Amino acid sequence: MSTVHVVLPGGVDDPALPSGGNVYDRRVCQELAAAGWTVREHPVAGGWPHPATPDLSRLAEVLASLPDDAVVLLDGLVAVAAPDVLAACAPRLRLVVLAHMLFGDTDAGLRPGEARVLREATAVVTTSRWCRERAIEAYGLPYGHVVSAPPGVDPAPPAPGSPAGTRLLCVAALAPHKGHHLLLDALATLPELPWSCVFVGSPDRDPAYAARLREHPVAGRIAFAGVRTGEDLAAMYAAADLLVLPSRGESYGMVVTEALARGIPALVSDVQGLPEALGAAPDGTLPGLLVPPDSAAFAAALRHWLTDADLRDRLRRTARARRAHLTDWTRTAERIGTVLRRVEAHGPLAR
């Protein structure tokens, strides 16, 4: 039986800080174990991806405790900030970096370390095809060195939807890059329409930004629901007509497929990995709307959705068709397991 050591950020199971990356890590560990892998988890507390010296020391201790030739799957949140620690143990361990995103694209200070980590890893797994292409382009990685394993999604009952389609849902931490302010500006141009909107997401990532959102002129029509998980989050999806995600960038966008798993169309920014998450029905039609990440584009798309019953019906039919062809978590873990087996048997993937 093969063993994989998984290095995780310390808060991976903190219910107050849910994230797509944490969900991905947890589900992959579960599915690898179900497939027969012995999974040894090593959560490492720290301020990743901006660790203090003690954080790096803890990571070094964890890696030093692993046996020679161990296969190690490292969450990129931890890995990209520790190039020296990883370089010291790379000769005796088989390090596979799980890149949820490229931190160097948003933080130039992390770019040199991220480049070293991804180039020197035994293999790299990205959570979308878009992120794979971007990593190869940004850091000159060989194509064979990087494999994509997009997130799965759990089956869910279809949401009934309302005839008028007025119930909008945004699931994202309240942080500037998620674009809630763009959505509020867009909704402010639609005062005569009978929409409602729920913001589900932690206000603690950027408290000042969250406070500004609550002061927006249209905030009185927004339900700020905070963090929701499990059955509470499922209930939010079940009550929604349209998922709206005005993010300026996402490597994938798991909330999009979570909505589609319920047959809910999505209005999302046409950036980075979001078109990949939205995907298409078997006939090639989109189960939602892709628009530029600006308030005018979102306002126009929302007005179209709220005033055009034919559009709502068409997008709902397409979302239900897309729902039947979504990837599950077993497939995600199979792709990662294939990489881990190759690394275990043969060492580095193609350079």
Q: Is residue 263 in some structural domain?
A: yes
Q: What is the pLDDT of residue 351?
A: 52
Give this prediction's pTM: 0.94
> How would you label 136-153 residue by residue, b for 16+ Cβ within 10 Å and e otherwise?
beebebeeebbbbbbbbb
Q: What is the DSSP letter of 234?
A: H
Q: What is the pLDDT of residue 278?
A: 98
Mean pLDDT of 215-221: 96
Three-state helix/strand/coil letters over 23-68: HHHHHHHHHHHHCCCEEEEEEECCCCCCCCHHHHHHHHHHHHCCCC
333 and 286 co-located in one domain: no
**Under 8 Å CB-to-CB from 308, ≥6 apart: which residues?**
none
CA atoms within 13 Å, Cβ hemisphere of 10? 12
Q: Is residue 162 in some structural domain?
A: no
99 and 177 co-located in one domain: no
CA atoms within 13 Å, Cβ hemisphere of 191? 6
Q: Is residue 76 in some structural domain?
A: yes
Closest CA to 147 of 158, 162, 136: 136
Q: What is the pLDDT of residue 16?
A: 75
Q: What is the pLDDT of residue 232?
A: 96
Q: Is residue 160 in some structural domain?
A: no
Q: What is the DSSP letter of 137?
A: H
Q: Is residue 142 in some structural domain?
A: yes
Domain boundaries, position 53: 3-152+328-346
Q: What percentage of the chain carries pLDDT values higher than 70?
A: 98
41 and 180 co-located in one domain: no
Q: Is the pLDDT of residue 331 over 60?
A: yes
144 and 215 co-located in one domain: no
197 and 303 co-located in one domain: yes
Q: Which residue has the higher pLDDT, 41 or 20?
A: 41
What CA–CA distance (Å, rounded) separates 222 from 88?
A: 50
Q: What is the pLDDT of residue 317?
A: 97
118 and 171 co-located in one domain: no
200 and 101 co-located in one domain: no
318 and 262 co-located in one domain: yes
The DSSP bridge pattern shows strands 71-75 and 38-44 to be: unpaired
For the domain that residue 334 is a member of, what is the CATH number? 3.40.50.2000
Q: What is the pLDDT of residue 18?
A: 80
Closest CA to 197 of 207, 185, 208, 206: 185
Q: What is the pLDDT of residue 221?
A: 96
Q: Is residue 258 in some structural domain?
A: yes
Beta bridge partners of 137: none
pLDDT tens per residue across span 268-303:
999 999 999 999 999 999 999 999 999 999 999 999
39 and 181 co-located in one domain: no
Total of domains in the chain: 2
Q: What is the pLDDT of residue 15?
A: 76
306 and 342 co-located in one domain: no
Cβ atoms < 10 Å from Cβ of 42:
20
Q: Is the pLDDT of residue 348 over 90?
A: no
342 φψ region: left (φ > 0), alpha (ψ -120 to 50), beta (else): alpha
Give residue 222's pLDDT band: very low, low, confident or very high (50, 70, 90). Answer: very high
The DSSP bridge pattern shows strands 71-75 and 3-9 to be: parallel
Q: What is the pLDDT of residue 14?
A: 82
pLDDT tens per residue across span 250-269:
999 999 999 999 999 999 99
**Cα Rg, the chain, nearest whole Å:** 21
88 and 225 co-located in one domain: no
12 and 97 co-located in one domain: yes
Q: Is residue 228 in some structural domain?
A: yes
What CA–CA distance (Å, rounded) separates 295 from 315?
A: 21
Looking at this protein, which amino acid is placed at residue 321? Answer: A
Mean pLDDT of 9-14: 87
Closest CA to 124 of 86, 96, 90: 96
Q: To the nearest whole number, what is the mean pLDDT of the chain? A: 96
For residue 125 the two structure tokens come to: 């797994």
Residue 148 sits at the vertex; the CA angle it makes with 147 and 151, to the nearest 5 degrees, is 150
Give residue 346's pLDDT band: very low, low, confident or very high (50, 70, 90). Answer: confident
Longest pairwise C-alpha distance within the chain: 66
Kindly report which listed range (16-30, 125-139, 303-317) carries the lowest average pLDDT score: 16-30
Give residue 347's pLDDT band: very low, low, confident or very high (50, 70, 90). Answer: low
Are the beta carbons of 311 and 242 closer than 8 angstroms? no
Q: Is the pLDDT of residue 153 over 70?
A: yes
**Under 8 Å CB-to-CB from 6, ≥6 apart: which residues?**
25, 29, 39, 40, 41, 42, 72, 73, 74, 75
Q: Is residue 351 in some structural domain?
A: no
Q: What is the pLDDT of residue 12?
A: 86
Q: What is the pLDDT of residue 350?
A: 57
